[in-house]
Chains A and B, each alone.
Chain A
Amino acid sequence: MSATLGLLPARPGRFAAAVKRQGALIALAVLVIFGTLRYGERFATGYNVQSVLADDAKYALVALGMSFVIMTGGIDLSVGSVAALGGVVAASLSGAGLLPAMAAAVAVGAAAGLVNGVLIARYRLAPFLVTLATMLSVRGLALHLSGAASVLAAPHGTFTAFGTWSLLGVPVPFWIALALFGAGALALHRTGFGRNVLATGGNEDAARLMGLPVDRTKAAVYVLSGALSGAAGAFLGAQTSSVDTAAGQGWELSAIAAVVVGGTLLTGGVGTVFGTLVGVVLLQLIFNMIVFENSRGELTISSYWESVIRGAFLLGVVLLQVRLTRRRRAG
């Protein structure tokens, strides 16, 4: 007996849902088109694109790690501090070359992430408070290691050169970020680990019952987040040739905003890696456009508008998500 169980929603509904899912991408496209039309070539090509993408690379790494954490239903407030720590370590070791410095930053970040992971997964402490505590502690550690002063990277050498390399017109740091995002997307969609992440966030009790390694998965995403944040700090050091005491401040909340704008639900269980990348680029682009708008001379938008606009974007996304969940609940 054939059963057409499940009322399939009408076709238009599916289209609308797809549009909503790619909302961030559409907004990004609109902004890029608008910017190109308004500011001309200087905006859309060459130097500007390069510097925007170079800038975005480190935020993208942090946001990637944050995505995985949020998809398990958790949160990581320590990413900014871990980035600072990674930056300090990398800059200090920059004399030894790019690879050792980068590796050290990643290792240190992973270690910090491990602390988070163990406290959260094994001891079942609240992620918000645990990462709040590590945020404070790790920054203290970073300040201690740097002697509460900026750390200058070795001026000549592969480390600082890394910040300037580009391939096919796109900065290498961004290529790396792109590659990592690709790997992340692949892991999310095609590996057991990725599916476990989504299952854990979707319904942790059910996931446990299904025999999935929930605790291990949770710990792993925090380690991943830490490692990526450490690397992001190293990127910062390479690109600006120094890491100051305020490095990484506010990165955690920017990352969360990017993740949410990109379409990942804060409650976990749903998410897209690609969406986060779009979110990062979108939010940073706003700042870039303000700079251009000012240079036109007609309207002076101070950079403070950037935060207001970012906040407005977040509000829009939030209200959209509310409408979506309401419909789902009623339906």
Chain B
Amino acid sequence: MTASVTAGAARAGGAGLELARMLASFAWVFGATAVAIAALGALPGWITGDAGVVRRAATIEDAERRLGARVLVPGYFPSRLDWPPAEIRVAGGRHGSVHLALAARDGGPGVEVFQATGDDEPVAPQLLEDRTVLRSTRTALGSVPATISDVLVRGHPARELSWILHGRAMVLRSAGDVDELFRMARSAHREGGR
């Protein structure tokens, strides 16, 4: 009786040890595979650096998730412009910059919103694209200093209004009415989105 109990206990102990060995080996292989895959997935970002990459975002929320920051949009939104933005692009990884392209409903000139989400950071230059600044003039948005510039973007003339809002660099660009740019700029706030 005692011998059979001892043999049974030994068998159970052996089975338990084998089970533990099996699970430990499995955990090691699974973990190593997952880490290797994750490293391979992260490698392109490490090589290129997220800063150099411009990516499209499907929605404002998507852009905010990628940037890890809220995107500010103007409170005043002309009814001639279409919402949601026709194109949303982000660059610079976490706390990088965002570009919202707002198309006009009537086929007229649209408005582009650029902003850096990191404090004291400029808007990522790869979002502003290849533009030539022809002339810059100092101006003000209430008590906030701003700059209005005549620019050439891909050979087309446009106006850019740039200023700092709560430490963030903001740029509004349009080939249309400059007053509209000022009205939008004055209305920009943190809780925006429509």
A binds B: no
> Which residues of A does B touch, CB under 8 Å?
none
Please list the residues of chain B having a beta carbon within 8 angstroms of any beta carbon in chain A.
Answer: none
